[in-house]
Amino acid sequence: MDVLKIIKDIKKIRGKFVLANLVVGCILHVADKGSDVYVAIQYLLRGEWWWFSLTLAFIVFPLTMHYFSNKEDDINETNQQKDSNRTNGQEDSNATNQQKHSNATNQQDSNANNQQERGGGKPYPRSIQ
């Protein structure tokens, strides 16, 4: 029974460890971006335009790539949803058309049988679709 208790304790600790890593990772990311902005401002105040622009590029470029990367994922998901809706709509449409055709064929057959029973001559020809 002691082994089961140890395993449960490890699972509790593991969850706290993952949460701590998440919090520390977020804090370090914000601190890194903040220090980059601080350095860029220092370069700007010193008049070192080349280093300022280079530092600013290293701040803005990853954010831009992240934005466009997520935008492309959103576009792909939207297109997949449209494709699946289109496919479902076509299948529903095809099923409806087949049902209509089946009903029309059954109606023609029943009309032909009725006319033959009444002795009206030849049955109606089936339409070819």
Range with lowest mean pLDDT among 12-21, 46-55, 91-100: 91-100
72 in any annotated domain: no
Residue 3 lies in a domain: yes
- Whether residue 41 is predicted with pLDDT greater than 90 in this model: the reply is yes
Has residue 24 got a pLDDT over 60? yes
Enter the tokens of residue 61: 């470029």
Mean pLDDT, rounded, of the chain: 75
Looking at residue 68, its pLDDT comes to 78
67: in domain: no
> Is position 9 within any domain?
yes
- Closest Cα to residue 52, out of 33, 35, 34, 39? 39
Q: In angstroms, rounded to a whole number, what is the distance separating the alpha carbons of residues 127 and 59?
A: 71
**Joined tokens for residue 38:** 């601080």
In a domain, 125, yes or no: no
The pLDDT assigned to 5 comes to 78
Residue range of the domain that includes 21 = 1-60
Residue 20 pLDDT more than 80? yes
What's the domain count of the chain?
1
Domain contains 80: no
pLDDT at 104 over 60: no
Averaged pLDDT, 61-75: 77
pTM over 0.85: no
If we measure between CA atoms, which residue out of 108, 107, 105 comes closest to residue 123? 108
Residue 104 lies in a domain: no
Q: Are 52 and 40 in contact (CB under 8 A)?
A: yes
pLDDT at 53 (0 to 100): 95
By percentage, how much of the chain surpasses pLDDT 70? Answer: 53
